[in-house]
């Protein structure tokens, strides 16, 4: 292929088409009309001598040639974007920058909230955009579409994010929590307590429930919460018992009016790792942001605080 014939704008359109697999959505992503996007697709098909997107029922699917282009095109555009946007230095007191971070509600309450406050004091023109962790978060950081992703270790297998750098930022463990006016005496969570009280389960924590099953920890599910953050606030005035990360429980104990219970049985630790594309390793602004996160990281052993 004659590289002199390759228009960089065409590669940007190609990247959007490969991601969206839809001409209309790709155009919306790039703020192009559908006709302009269709014209660009025609030029790309001629350039690569391949249809790239073919009809499959009501939707479009990528041809094998297009599938092979997904990662190289994304990587090439990321390198170009990094080369153009990177600056040789960064002054947090005066420079402007917008950073996007993928983080769960739990990570946001414990870490990102403090990060926003700290950045606000040290870099008044820097903005932090927080997006939720979804199934696409791993792909987003791998493609350098977001600056940082703070992800649970179990979400990232050994064969994922090989093009990314990483550092642990949160370690935590699970403890029992009950309403402060709960009739249960003492501060221990035994198997008997767990079995005899109605149980509040977190819907996305399958590994925890599997672990409790392996430990033969009986429980009767009476309610289900969508996130760990919601759970402490669902306990007041009930006899529910739940398991939540200790740091979160201690943070929310007064606001949610809860007591913490020390488990009598071993439970796995929760570890969160910060990921970023290796292209950003030497970016001064990005390095500054990572230093702020590391300064606030919570990787020591927390101590149970009964409220």
- Looking up residue 57, the CATH number of its domain turns out to be 1.10.10.10
Interior angle at CA 286, CA 285 and CA 292, nearest 5: 95
Structure tokens at 181: 């006016």
Query: Which residues form the domain of 245?
Result: 172-269
The pLDDT score that the predictor gives to residue 59 is 85
Structure tokens at 260: 């913490």
Selection from 77, 162, 90, 82 nearest residue 119 by Cα: 90
The domain total for the chain is 2
Mean pLDDT, the chain, integer: 90
Give domain status of residue 307, yes or no: no
- At 157, the pLDDT band (50, 70, 90 cuts) reads confident
pLDDT tens-place string over residues 97-128: 999 999 999 999 999 999 999 999 999 999 99
Would 223 be classed as within a structural domain?
A: yes
Q: Is 233 within the bounds of a domain?
A: yes
Would you say residue 37 lies in a domain? yes
Position 5 pLDDT exceeds 70: no
Q: CA 267 to CA 265: how far, in whole Å?
A: 7
Residue 72 lies in a domain: yes
Closest CA to 18 of 43, 39, 44: 44
Residue 209 lies in a domain: yes
Question: Mind listing the pLDDT tens digit for each residue in 27-39?
Answer: 988 889 989 999 9
Q: What is the CATH number of the domain that holds 256?
A: 3.40.190.10
User: pLDDT tens, 251-291?
Assistant: 999 999 999 999 999 998 899 999 999 989 989 999 999 99
From the number of C-beta atoms within 10 Å of its C-beta (0-12, 13-18, 19+), residue 274 rates as buried
pTM: 0.74
Whether residue 183 is contained in a domain is answered as yes
Identify whether 157 is part of a domain: no
Distance between CA 263 and CA 175 in Å, rounded?
A: 6
pLDDT of residue 274: 96
Cβ atoms of 123 and 92 closer than 8 Å: yes
Tokens representing residue 89 in the block: 């230095």
């Amino acid at each position: 292929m004659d590289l002199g014939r390759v228009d960089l704008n065409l590669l940007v359109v190609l990247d959007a088409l490969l991601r969206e697999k839809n001409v209309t959505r790709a155009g919306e992503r790039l703020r192009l009309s559908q006709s302009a996007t269709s014209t660009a697709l025609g030029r790309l098909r001629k350039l690569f001598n391949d249809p790239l997107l073919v009809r499959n029922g009501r939707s479009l699917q990528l041809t094998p040639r297009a599938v092979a282009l997904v990662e190289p095109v994304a990587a090439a555009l990321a390198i170009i974007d990094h080369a153009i946007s990177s600056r040789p230095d960064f002054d947090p007191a005066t420079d402007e920058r917008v950073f996007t971070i993928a983080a769960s509600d739990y990570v946001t309450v414990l870490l990102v909230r403090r990060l926003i406050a700290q950045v606000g004091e040290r870099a008044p023109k820097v903005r932090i955009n927080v997006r939720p962790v979804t199934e696409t978060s791993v792909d987003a950081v791998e493609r350098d579409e977001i600056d940082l992703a703070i992800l649970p270790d179990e979400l990232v297998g050994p064969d994922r994010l090989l093009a990314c750098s990483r550092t642990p930022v949160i370690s935590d463990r699970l403890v029992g929590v009950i309403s402060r006016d709960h009739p249960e005496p003492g501060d221990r969570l035994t198997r008997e307590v767990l079995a005899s009280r109605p149980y509040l389960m977190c819907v996305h924590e399958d590994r925890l429930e599997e672990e409790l099953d392996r430990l033969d920890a009986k429980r009767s599910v009476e309610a289900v919460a969508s996130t760990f953050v919601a759970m402490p606030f669902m306990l007041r005035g009930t006899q529910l018992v739940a398991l939540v990360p200790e740091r979160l429980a201690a943070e929310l104990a007064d606001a949610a009016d809860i007591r913490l219970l020390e488990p009598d049985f071993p439970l796995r630790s929760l570890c969160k790792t910060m990921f970023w594309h290796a292209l950003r390793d030497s970016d001064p602004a990005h390095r500054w942001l990572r230093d702020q996160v590391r300064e606030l990281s919570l990787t020591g052993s927390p101590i149970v605080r009964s409220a």
